[in-house]
Homo-oligomer: A and B are copies of this chain.
């Protein structure tokens, strides 16, 4: 049987890089590749207790179907957390729980994008957002981006000259893949530009709670009086990714559309996961837990930056993120990071070459370093080996 797939499948090819990186599952590999949290920080004992309490108290409910919108106490907690941390003014009806924030990206595409519509994004941008949106047949225009976010004049120029722009997609805090954080002025400008051109902003904010230094900045959403910004969040980086619980928050009219689309996509999130997280938040101090994560990641970031400073050859530059999980490395223009990866895997060190973070290709002289998943001794060992490889190329 010759399968006749949908046209969109032509754009969704198995990533060559993903195949290469399958080796990172081997324990001898020092991996800077994934975006994995440090598993030694998962609150395992607490979760066993929370599971028992939820199932003993409300087992019949926790194992049954529930609403598409999600478990109300958890939606209430998220609204109140966002209001206190991000300057929003949400209630639980502004929140739809999603199967990780990846699903919120997919649903955003389904709600807003027709074939041929345009998504504006940072350059580079989050790899899996590209695949999520691309499945709806959109085009990407990369807005030139510096250390403070999208460059305002460039954004204005592109908005004025591009037809069918439906979404501006941004990760303002400790961006994936670059680790960069948008300035206050750029956040405010983004909202003004979006309102002027009547375009939706998707503010993807998985890392905002993981700031190691400096003052937290107000969210892009906090400047939005018109409801044009939709916010994505997740428990994957502050709690555990295995639960797959994220959310989309925004104007209730738009959230109603997301609910309709989620109903057809998978009915609802895992009921037990929603109730367990809510119970954990009730019984334990999540801030204490996040402090622990932040402290470990801060030390790993420090060590990563220090080791790259000391070991990487001249001509190689990198970002110094104030939080999150990632740093971004640029090599001289003529060096292809895929070639570096092949050599580096021979020394059991993995990372993700940067090319795939540019939806329209190019910039093969870049790569992403994750610093959250490896213990300190392996960070040093891995970056030293990587530096040796880099010296062969630079």
0/1 interface trace, chain A 1-39, chain B, CB 8 Å (1 if under): 111111111001110000000000000000000101101
Are B102 and A265 in contact, with the CB atoms below 8 A?
Answer: yes
Q: Give the docked Cα–Cα distance between A12 and B200 (Å).
A: 20
Q: Give the docked Cα–Cα distance between A63 and B44 (Å).
A: 8
Q: In the complex, what's the smallest C-beta–C-beta distance from A93 to chain B, in angstroms?
A: 14
A47 within 8 A of B: yes
Q: Give the docked Cα–Cα distance between A231 and B314 (Å).
A: 56
Give the interface of A toward B (CB within 8 A).
Answer: 1-9, 12-14, 34, 36-37, 39-40, 42, 44, 47-48, 51-52, 55-56, 59-66, 98-100, 102-103, 106, 110-115, 117, 128, 131-132, 134-136, 166, 195, 198, 200, 226-228, 236, 240-244, 251, 253-254, 256-257, 260-261, 263-273
Q: Name the CB-closest residue of B to A115.
A: B115
Q: Give the docked Cα–Cα distance between A40 and B64 (Å).
A: 10
Q: In the complex, what's the smallest C-beta–C-beta distance from A165 to chain B, in angstroms?
A: 10
Q: Give the docked Cα–Cα distance between A71 and B172 (Å).
A: 34
Q: In the complex, what's the smallest C-beta–C-beta distance from A51 to chain B, in angstroms?
A: 5
A59 partner residues in chain B, CB cutoff 8 A: 42, 44, 47
Q: In the complex, what's the smallest C-beta–C-beta distance from A189 to chain B, in angstroms?
A: 17
Are B253 and A3 in contact, with the CB atoms below 8 A?
Answer: yes
Q: Identify A39's interface contact among B1, B64, B228, CB under 8 A.
A: B64
Given A132-B264, A257-B9, A63–B243 Cβ distance below 8 Å?
A: yes
Q: Name the CB-closest residue of B to A6.
A: B114
A270 partner residues in chain B, CB cutoff 8 A: 99, 242-244, 270, 273
Are B111 and A9 in contact, with the CB atoms below 8 A?
Answer: yes
Q: Name the CB-closest residue of B to A243.
A: B270
This chain: copies in complex: 2
Q: In the complex, what's the smallest C-beta–C-beta distance from A359 to chain B, in angstroms?
A: 13
Q: Name the CB-closest residue of B to A103.
A: B266
A8 partner residues in chain B, CB cutoff 8 A: 110, 114
Q: Name the CB-closest residue of B to A68.
A: B18
11 contacts between A and B (CB under 8 A): A2-B198, A3-B254, A4-B112, A6-B112, A34-B65, A39-B61, A47-B59, A103-B265, A244-B267, A244-B268, A244-B269
Are B266 and A100 in contact, with the CB atoms below 8 A?
Answer: yes
Chain B CB within 10 Å — which of A5, A8, A136, A195 has the most? A5
Given A1-B195, A8-B114, 16 more A-B residue pairs with CB atoms under 8 Å apart are A3-B200, A3-B254, A3-B257, A5-B112, A6-B113, A6-B114, A9-B261, A36-B64, A44-B55, A47-B63, A48-B52, A63-B240, A99-B244, A99-B266, A103-B266, A272-B273
Q: Give the docked Cα–Cα distance between A153 and B115 (Å).
A: 37
Q: Identify A56's interface contact among B42, B48, B62, B111, CB under 8 A.
A: B48
A257 partner residues in chain B, CB cutoff 8 A: 3, 5, 9, 12
Chain B CB within 10 Å — which of A14, A48, A117, A270 has the most? A270
A267 partner residues in chain B, CB cutoff 8 A: 100, 102, 128, 244
Are A272 and B243 in contact, with the CB atoms below 8 A?
Answer: yes
Are A242 and B66 in contact, with the CB atoms below 8 A?
Answer: yes
A256 partner residues in chain B, CB cutoff 8 A: 14
A5 partner residues in chain B, CB cutoff 8 A: 111-112, 257
A48 partner residues in chain B, CB cutoff 8 A: 51-52, 55-56
Chain B CB within 10 Å — which of A99, A103, A132 has the most? A99
Q: Give the docked Cα–Cα distance between A30 and B362 (Å).
A: 61
Are B63 and A134 in contact, with the CB atoms below 8 A?
Answer: no
